[in-house]
Amino acid sequence: MSYRVIALDLDGTLLTPNKTILPESLEALAKAQQAGVKVLIVTGRHHVAIHPFYQALALDTPAICCNGTYLYDYQAKKVLASDPLAKSQAQQVIEMLDQQAIHGLLYVDNAMLYQTATGHVTRTLNWAQSLPESQRPVFLQVDSLAEAAQSAQSIWKFALSHPDTRALQQFADKVEQQLGLACEWSWQDQIDIAKGGNSKGKRLAQWVESAGYQMSEVLAFGDNYNDLSMLETVGLGVAMGNADEAIKARAGRVIGTNLEPGIAETIYREVL
Domain boundary among 194, 227, 253: 194
Sign (positive or negative) of CA dihedral 109, 111, 116, 118:
positive
| 17 and 34 belong to one structural domain | yes
- Predicted pLDDT at 1: 57
| Inter-residue contact 226 to 200 (CB < 8 Å) | yes
pLDDT in tens, 245-258: 999 999 999 999 99
Q: Which of 75, 268, 107 is nearest to 186 (CA)?
A: 107
Q: Is 164 noted as a catalytic residue in this protein?
A: no
Q: Is the pLDDT of residue 129 over 90?
A: no
Instruction: Please indicate, yes or no, whether residues 97 and 182 belong to a single structural domain of this protein.
Output: yes
Domain that holds residue 58: 5-82+199-270
Say which residue, 117 or 222, is predicted with more confidence: 222
**What are the pLDDT digits (tens) for 178-218?**
999 989 887 777 889 999 999 999 999 999 999 999 999 99
One domain for residues 160 and 117: yes
Residues 78 and 91 in one domain: no
**Alpha-carbon separation of residue 219 from 85, 143, 232, 244 (angstroms):** 29, 43, 11, 20
Q: Residue 145 CA to chain centroid, in angstroms?
A: 22
> Burial, 93: exposed, middle or buried (Cβ in 10 Å; 0-12, 13-18, 19+)?
buried
Integer-rounded Cα Rg, in Å, for the chain is 18
pLDDT band at 102 (very low <50, low <70, confident <90, very high): confident
Contact 63, 47 (CB under 8 A): yes
- Are residues 74 and 96 both part of a single domain? no
Average pLDDT, the chain: 93
Q: How many domains does the chain have?
A: 2
Sequence-ordered alpha helix ranges (H) in the chain: 23-34, 51-57, 87-100, 119-129, 145-151, 165-179, 200-210, 228-231, 245-250, 262-270
Same domain, 189 and 59: no
Query: Closest Cα to residue 146, out of 102, 86, 94, 108?
Result: 94
Percent over 70 (pLDDT), the chain: 100
Task: Evaluate whether 256 touches 221 at the Cβ level (below 8 Å).
Answer: no
The one catalytic residue among 9, 11, 192, 227: 9
Which of 176, 194, 212 corresponds to the end of one domain?
194
| d(C-alpha 59, C-alpha 10), whole Å | 14
pLDDT value at residue 30: 98
Strand partners, 194: 182
27 or 125: whose pLDDT is higher? 27
Residues 6 or more apart in contact with residue 201 via CB below 8 angstroms = 68, 228, 229, 230, 231, 232, 233, 234
Mean pLDDT in residue range 41-63: 96
Q: Is the pTM above the cut of 0.75?
A: yes
CATH for 227: 3.40.50.1000
Which among 194, 225, 254 is the end of a domain? 194
Q: Are residues 115 and 175 in the same domain?
A: yes
Q: For residues 54 and 124, state if they share a domain.
A: no
